């Protein structure tokens, strides 16, 4: 099966049929959200955010499009969260603004992270902590939770039993056989569910293109140990603010080499405090130090554990690279980027690396040393899952198109019929009935941008305007027209910003603009908006042919 961009709206859902609608996470790495529906009741699995790329200036976050369910929030049984990463929980506060009492189910650590986030939004959620092996019945949905290994502790897959069939959603997972916390992906539970019958397998696709097996977390420790042993100045390690396993390894390496650890970044301080309080992070007595105190310590005695591994402009590491942070980085210091590159963030990350190296620091990243391993199953692990589960239908999730296709092709190799592999995108509607999954249509979904305090008010058209302003500059035309005879009585004046040329370059076109406005007025165009468009066209042609530029042109024609 291939992607179909021309799907029509789906038909009404038949009684006893399960409908699955992904609202995010397909065709992208982030904002994971899936809606399951049967007999008028809804279950949401994950509700995350996507972080903006360079071509989305000014955007803070990108949310799933809640439009599909906003008129049916009273039908939602619960939100199930598979783990505590931002791309799976970050949009929950925005959904709960619409209905605050939607129950949230998740593991203890996941709920602790989301509760801390919701506290900042002044929302007190209704939560139910679950753990592996636990079953909960919510209306038509019978949920069983399965332990899976990921780059954050306490991650869960969810097996959903319904009258229409069964669904296994892995969330993000891998099959690390030597995890730091000893908690492995429960393949025995997978086998039991496979024997019962998995009608739809919704499976993480992020590493489907990577052959073999994902490297074990334990291999990171010795690499960090060698890097710490060689360092003579300050050490800054950047990672995701929720990557508890990586922070644990940094703490262990710091202790072994007589260094103190200072957490930098509000989310890092918050999340690691929660993880330590709940026993997921082992913190030896006396090893943590306040960043202000660390600033006065000799460089060889301190490690900063920082946010900003993806080059986020306002994160701590990016500000260090520009010299705009209280933690200064310079000659003899070591910076370790202990995370993978999220697709789309490459330019931002390399910009930070270059900035740090310009200051004299040595920068170590995944491309130069094994300071990070992925949290996602590679092709070999996915093949094992397909052979253990023998699912009737498969929907690859969590990944760009290339990841989804690679994952689906793995399923086909293990014997899943190609017509039973749902290559879906955000908004694709899949119905499950009598053990058969079918694409029945698509619902309209858009990017929902968070820009400061505004949510959903910025459109793609406005982002295009921002890009034009950033890349091409803008030009204004001002003219005053006599309302009685249409003659230009003042101007036109042209002023440019963001263009290399002086305003005098426009002197040659001013008579043409004036003539075009007056001719249009004589021809019956008395509306100022029409006259503005005339001026825009004349100036646009001039700028395009003479200056080889396409700036934003803002014409202003007023009547006197």
* Alpha-carbon gap, residue 83 to 158, rounded angstroms: 11
373 annotated to bind ligand: yes
Please give the structure tokens belonging to residue 400. Answer: 């760009």
| DSSP state, residue 340 | P
Relative to beta strand 260-264, strand 302-306 is parallel
Please give the structure tokens belonging to residue 356. Answer: 């740090």
* Alpha-carbon gap, residue 231 to 299, rounded angstroms: 10
374 annotated to bind ligand: yes
* Alpha-carbon gap, residue 290 to 324, rounded angstroms: 19
Cis peptide before 364 (omega within 30 of 0): no
Relative to beta strand 488-497, strand 474-481 is antiparallel
Relative to beta strand 76-80, strand 41-45 is parallel
DSSP three-state, residue 425: coil
* Alpha-carbon gap, residue 145 to 164, rounded angstroms: 19
* Alpha-carbon gap, residue 467 to 459, rounded angstroms: 13
Over the range 137-168, which residues count as b (16 or more CB within 10 Å of their CB) and which as e?
Answer: ebebbebbbbbbbbbbbbbbbbbbbbebbbbb
Contacts with 416 (C-beta within 8 Å, 6 or more apart), sequence order: 386, 391, 393, 394
CB 93 within 8 A of CB 118: yes
376 annotated to bind ligand: yes
* Alpha-carbon gap, residue 526 to 36, rounded angstroms: 55
- At CA 543, angle to CA 538 and CA 546, rounded to 5? 115
Q: Which residue has the tokens 């998995």?
A: 198
Binding residues are 372-376
Binding residues for substrate are 372-376
């Amino acid at each position: 099966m291939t992607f179909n961009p021309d799907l029509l709206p789906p038909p009404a859902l038949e009684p006893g049929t399960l409908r699955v609608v992904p609202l995010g996470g397909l065709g992208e790495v982030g904002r994971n959200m899936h809606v399951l529906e049967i007999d008028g009741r809804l279950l949401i699995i994950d509700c995350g955010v996507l972080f903006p790329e360079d071509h989305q200036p000014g955007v803070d976050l990108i949310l799933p499009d809640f439009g599909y369910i906003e008129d049916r929030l009273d039908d939602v049984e619960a939100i199930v969260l598979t783990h505590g990463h931002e791309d799976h929980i970050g949009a929950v506060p925005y959904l709960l603004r619409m209905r605050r009492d939607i129950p949230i189910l998740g593991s203890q650590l996941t709920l602790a992270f989301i509760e801390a986030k919701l506290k900042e939004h002044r929302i007190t959620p209704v939560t139910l902590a679950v753990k592996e092996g636990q079953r909960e019945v919510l209306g038509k949905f019978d949920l069983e939770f399965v332990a899976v290994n990921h780059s954050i502790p306490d991650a869960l897959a969810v097996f959903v039993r319904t009258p229409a069939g069964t669904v296994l959603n892995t969330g993000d997972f891998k099959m690390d056989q030597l995890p730091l916390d000893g908690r492995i992906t429960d393949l025995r539970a997978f086998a039991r569910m496979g024997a019962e019958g998995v009608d739809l397998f919704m499976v993480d696709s992020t590493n489907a293109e990577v052959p073999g097996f994902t490297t074990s977390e334990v291999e990171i420790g010795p690499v960090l140990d060698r890097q710490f042993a060689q360092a003579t100045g300050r050490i800054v390690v950047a990672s995701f603010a929720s990557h508890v396993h990586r922070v644990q390894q940094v703490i262990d390496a710091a202790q072994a080499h007589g260094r103190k650890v200072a957490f930098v970044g509000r989310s890092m301080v918050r999340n690691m405090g929660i993880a330590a309080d709940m026993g997921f992070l082992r913190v030896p007595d006396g090893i943590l130090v306040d960043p202000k105190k660390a600033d006065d310590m000799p460089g060889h005695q301190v490690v900063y554990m920082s946010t900003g591994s993806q080059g986020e402009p306002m994160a701590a590491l990016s500000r260090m690279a520009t010299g705009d942070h209280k933690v200064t980085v310079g000659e003899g210091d070591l910076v370790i980027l202990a995370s993978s590159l999220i697709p789309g963030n490459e330019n931002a990350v390399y910009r930070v690396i270059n900035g740090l190296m310009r200051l004299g620091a040595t920068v170590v990243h995944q491309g130069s040393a094994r300071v990070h391993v992925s949290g996602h199953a590679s092709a070999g692990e996915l093949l094992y899952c397909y052979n253990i589960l023998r699912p009737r239908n498969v929907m690859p999730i969590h990944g760009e198109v290339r990841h989804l296709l690679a994952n689906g092709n793995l399923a086909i190799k293990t014997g899943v019929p190609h017509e039973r592999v749902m290559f879906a995108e955000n908004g694709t509607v899949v119905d499950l009935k009598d053990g058969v999954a079918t694409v029945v249509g698509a619902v309209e979904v858009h990017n929902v941008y968070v820009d400061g305090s505004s949510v959903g008010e910025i459109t793609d058209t406005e982002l295009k305007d921002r890009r034009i302003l950033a890349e091409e500059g803008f030009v204004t035309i001002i003219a005053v027209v006599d309302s009685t005879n249409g003659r230009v009585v003042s101007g036109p004046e042209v002023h440019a910003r963001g263009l290399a040329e002086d305003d005098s370059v426009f002197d040659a076109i001013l008579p043409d603009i004036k003539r075009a406005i007056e001719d249009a007025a004589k021809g019956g165009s008395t509306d100022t908006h029409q006259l503005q468009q005339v001026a825009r066209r004349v100036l646009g042609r001039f700028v395009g042919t003479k200056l080889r530029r396409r700036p934003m042109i803002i014409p202003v024609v007023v009547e006197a």
